[in-house]
Structure 1
Amino acid sequence: MDAYHARYPFLDAARDAVANADVDLSSLVRTDNAVVERGRERVIRALTEGTVESERRVSSRTELLSYPVARMLVSVLETPGAVEKYAAIEAATAHTRISEEVTTRTDRRTDRSFSLETVLAELGLDDDVQQLDRRNRRETAAYRISVDRYLQFVPEEDGWSLVQRELADGSVSVSQSELLELLRKAIEARVLDGLPFDVPPEIAEPLRPAVREIRTQLVGVEHPDAIDRFEPDAFPDCIATLLRRAGEEPLDQVERFTLITFLSGVGQSPETIPEICGIDDEQFLYASQRLAGQAIPFSPPSFDTMRAHGVCEGDHPDYDHPLEAYVAALPAVSEDTE
């Protein structure tokens, strides 16, 4: 079990590493608190913060084994939309890691074991993707991908229609960033495969305390289902500060997740969110589509989670969640505008 397996636990090589280690999952969930805790953190951060990255240093073994534990936890959780959100965030985290690897010079890569060709082969895409020679090395690397695979993983967003693509000999021309986006969808499908599943009682029972903790954390992200007014003057101070900063400086991952999901929660679409924030950065546009463009949108984090990450420094004794505070402030905003 090495760093490569830990960073990409959904790949066959990682599964083989677990199998070769002869790990008994029933014994693991009873005796290895570090692995169960990391699995719990993995699920909570995926569902509330838009990442599965840990906030602390963990061993490659713990990181790798936390993945099957997380899959068991999200299966036992039985919360609507949790499986889909978890898979989307596992894929998004992997997409970020792969993007960093392929855009970093070989001698400075985070993981020297990594190669895009290996990931494509592990996902069964090596025969469907071909890198094209580039005459101008300053240009983005170009690839061709088979039409069948392209259609299988194409995002449901503008700009991906086949009529807008160069099509020849049964394959579609894509840029490197587009290939990585298709790869994200392929990884999401890999993570989703088999989820949820029936967890044997001898494994599910020791996981019950972790499941209860996850459900307790998710209570903080419950918010009013219908918000039909958009009033920036009713935003909590921490959200208003994020919105102001978004147009002036880059936001970190948690800040970006918080702002996008809050704006989605108050009824804004993936198209209007970047306009409201005054941002046309490609990464922010992509995040808006991923977080706000789903049938089951992501919930903003609670005030407690925001405070834990330094996103919110104020006290909100009457409310657990920023959308609750927003709804409560709407009547006062209405009176001020009359």
Structure 2
Amino acid sequence: MMNPLDARYPFFESARTAVETAEISLPELVSRGAPAVERGRERVQRALLEGTVRPETDDVDPETELLSYPIARILVSLLDSTAAIDKYAAAEASTAIERIREDVAREDDLRSTQTTNLDLDDVLAEFDLADDVQPDDRSHQGHGEQWYRIDVGAYLSLSSSSWGREWRLVARELDEGEVRITGADLFELLETAIRDRIAAGLPFDLPREEGLGAELEPQVTDLRGLLSDRTRVHDIDVVAPELFPPCLRNLIDKAERGTELSSVEGFSLMAFLAGIGMSADEIVAFCADTSLEVETLRYQLEYLRDESGSQYPPPSCETLSAYGICHNEDDHWKVASHPLAYYETRVEEVDSDAITDWRATTNA
């Protein structure tokens, strides 16, 4: 019986020990198509497209959830993309720190119960920070935010001046080799520690033509199809929804009806809108009064516009077809088989005087 805590934090040493002790064979799991394989694929997909690794549903059993983690690490290694590894590690860390916040807060509120077995001291010990982080005596729990003191070496190794001026050492209170930080700051530093641990050792050196590489090729192809469909278009300085590819118009109609889009549908739509040059504010305005939430939109657009080289275009119509999104409506593949190329072609075909730019009809 797997410990639910290990499933929740599969990068903890206790989780690794649990998998090793159980003597579970990953090749055997893959060969028989165990649920952990599909969950591992979903884990990577949601990491790359949404910045989270939480399961789509709540009915994943702890063993499947725990075993999906090593499967996901193998899959992201086989993608052979530094950007994909960076995004995967960041998504795992972001999801983990959300859970840690939840568990620590619950443990603080319900300290007399056994609701969770995780508190902040456990997390600090996990990352060898127990001696480096101490509560600050000048703060009082229950009367404002708890402050902490962290060893300056640990602070510098886990923070970055690129996060903003407030993270530079000169902007911090430094006393006897310790930096004073808030509880919120501490969680940000812990997120870095988690991300570093998850990224360590990736990618694995695995042959793609045999063994696990060959067995997982369908899942890898599935993921790669979402992330590697690139097409070059000229700058498009017009937003004309009536000229969008039919499959993308269908997604817009679906969202306007209040139907929640799947992760792939939402990613495809956001990537397309960003790909035709719409700003984040314009996209938020364009998607107003739909099932898409503003906070989710901005978070996903931040992923799409990442300056690290990992900006993703919308998938091709062929890939969208594999996901049941594109059905070659109106035989539009004859115009172009990629949403961006289709839109560029349609814009060029129509007299510019006959096109009404959506931006001219709104205050976006």
Q: Normalising by the residue count of structure 2, what TM-score does the alignment of the two structures yield?
A: 0.70
1:137 corresponds to 2:142? yes
| Partner residue, 2:121 | 117
1:218 corresponds to 2:222? no
Task: State the superposition RMSD in angstroms.
Answer: 4.4
Cα offset for 1:70? 0.9
Match of 1:299 among 290, 303, 312: 312
Structure 1 residue matching 2:202: 3-state secondary structure: coil
What is the alpha-carbon distance in structure 1 between the residues aligned to residue 40 and residue 314 of structure 2? Answer: 19
Contact 1:264/1:297, CA 8 A, preserved across alignment: no
| Partner residue, 1:149 | 154
Structure 1 residue matching 2:163: 3-state secondary structure: coil
Cα offset for 1:208? 2.2
What is the alpha-carbon distance in structure 2 between the residues aligned to residue 205 and residue 327 of structure 1? Answer: 38
Aligned-residue sequence identity (percent) comes to 39
Cα offset for 1:199? 2.6
| Partner residue, 1:90 | 92
Cα offset for 1:121? 1.3
What is the alpha-carbon distance in structure 1 between the residues aligned to residue 93 and residue 201 of structure 2? Answer: 15
Structure 2 residue matching 1:81: 3-state secondary structure: helix
Q: Which has the larger radius of gyration?
A: 2
- Return closer, same or farther for 1:288/1:33 CA change in 2, 3 Å cut-off: same
> Which region of structure 1 is more displaced relative to structure 2, 21-30 or 185-194?
21-30
Give the count of matched residue pairs: 326
- Return closer, same or farther for 1:4/1:297 CA change in 2, 3 Å cut-off: same
What is the alpha-carbon distance in structure 2 between the residues aligned to residue 252 and residue 169 of structure 1? Answer: 53
Cα offset for 1:262? 6.3
CA deviation map 1:239-291 (0-9, x unaligned): 989999xxxxxx999699788766765668xxx8479859xx99998877666
Contact 2:83/2:308, CA 8 A, preserved across alignment: no
**Aligned runs of 1:93-242 on 2, under 5 Å?**
93-104=95-106, 106-107=109-110, 112-133=116-137, 134-135=139-140, 137-155=142-160, 156-159=162-165, 160-199=167-206, 201-215=210-224, 217-218=225-226, 222-224=229-231, 228=235, 231=238
| Partner residue, 2:39 | 38
- Return closer, same or farther for 1:81/1:275 CA change in 2, 3 Å cut-off: same
| Partner residue, 1:247 | none
- Return closer, same or farther for 1:98/1:158 CA change in 2, 3 Å cut-off: same
Q: Which has the higher contact order (CA 8 A, sep 6+)?
A: 1
What is the alpha-carbon distance in structure 2 between the residues aligned to residue 26 and residue 317 of structure 1? Answer: 42
| Partner residue, 1:78 | 80
| Partner residue, 2:288 | none
> What runs of 5+ residues in structure 2 fail to find an aligned partner?
286-293, 358-364
- Return closer, same or farther for 1:240/1:227 CA change in 2, 3 Å cut-off: farther
What is the alpha-carbon distance in structure 2 between the residues aligned to residue 71 and residue 233 of structure 1? Answer: 41
| Partner residue, 1:23 | 24
CA deviation map 1:192-235 (0-9, x unaligned): 100001136433232223222323x416x734456656655668
> What runs of 5+ residues in structure 1 fail to find an aligned partner?
245-250
Q: Normalising by the residue count of structure 1, what TM-score does the alignment of the two structures yield?
A: 0.75
CA deviation map 1:140-191 (0-9, x unaligned): 2212222222222224222322222222222222222221112111111111
Cα offset for 1:101? 2.6
CA deviation map 1:95-120 (0-9, x unaligned): 22223333446339996022222122
